Structure 1
Amino acid sequence: MLVVDEDGLKYLESIKCMFNCIVVNTNKNAVEKSAIMTLVLSRIDKVDVTTLIAGLDYGSNIGLAIFADSNLIFVNSYRGEESVIKTLKMFFDAIPASKKVIRIGIPSELIHAKLSKFIDDLLKKFSGNVVIELVHEHKTSKSSLIIDESLDEDSIAAINIALKAFQNY
């Protein structure tokens, strides 16, 4: 993978150099998007992404896992909703995918009112270009097949929620 800005592209064109790799164009207005696409392209073996799925474990800490097709590209946990929305927006705006899903684990009844407001905020920020699914989060914090044992429980749950098949409840 070759990461270049506008001047780099002009240089490559001027020397008529053809590389057998993916060229990611960064410009001053899209550095964040380019960095994300570089991350994604370094983790998957193709140029385009069909499905982008985010798994959210909603609670006092919010676990977030993002998959591009079947590849885990990002995982973290946050204390605040705004940080989660900002991170989701950054990835979902930067990655062109035909299907974008935010899959949220249904938490305990104690925080349903907070979750409802959070979902409203997500719907406003993403205005129809993503599908929001609610899935049962039973046993999602168990790390049966998790790659990294150093991940916190919320991150593990977010990964498992992202991988859950959507079911009607």
Structure 2
Amino acid sequence: MQREPSIYALQDSEILQLLAALPDTTMGRRYGFAFQLMATYGLKATDLRYLQVRNHDSELWLRQRSVDTDKSDEAFEPCRLEALRVLNREDIPQDWNLVERVVLGERLPPIGTDSEADRQLESYLLDKPVWRIIKNRAAQSGQQAAIDSFRQRYACAARSLRSTDEQH
């Protein structure tokens, strides 16, 4: 039995290349906003549908929701999101004013239902040359670049930050 390849963690430089390659159109900006949120807050595509701002418009949260699956009627409690900002080549954190943009109601791309969200975002990226390069790079290392690669970037950055904190 063959194992599924592990999900590739996007590098910050790849995220910046991908964002720079998106068209400067309404839809390009909407998708860019979604990818910025996913990379900065470790969100799944479906999470984009449940964002809310609290505490005098200063914090980004995921609001409570229930998930209907075949196995259970699981509920997710609201949780505050912690930003791990994408760094440029000079290790300067990118300040995309994400909370303020959510407050102002900046629109996200159409992502459909929870079960369609990954597919919607992935299909947008499929014809982007930079995404194909990233997918090939991931495949060469036995991994798979997918929409969850934005979330994987966040997880790796959090682990790295935690291990740095433990060393000090």
Give your verdict on TM over 0.5. Answer: no
Using CA pairs under 8 Å that are at least 6 residues apart, name the structure with larger relative contact order, 1 or 2.
Answer: 2
TM-score, L = length of structure 2 = 0.26
TM-score, L = length of structure 1 = 0.26
Q: Which has the higher strand share?
A: 1
Q: Which has the higher helix share?
A: 2
Q: Which has the larger radius of gyration?
A: 1
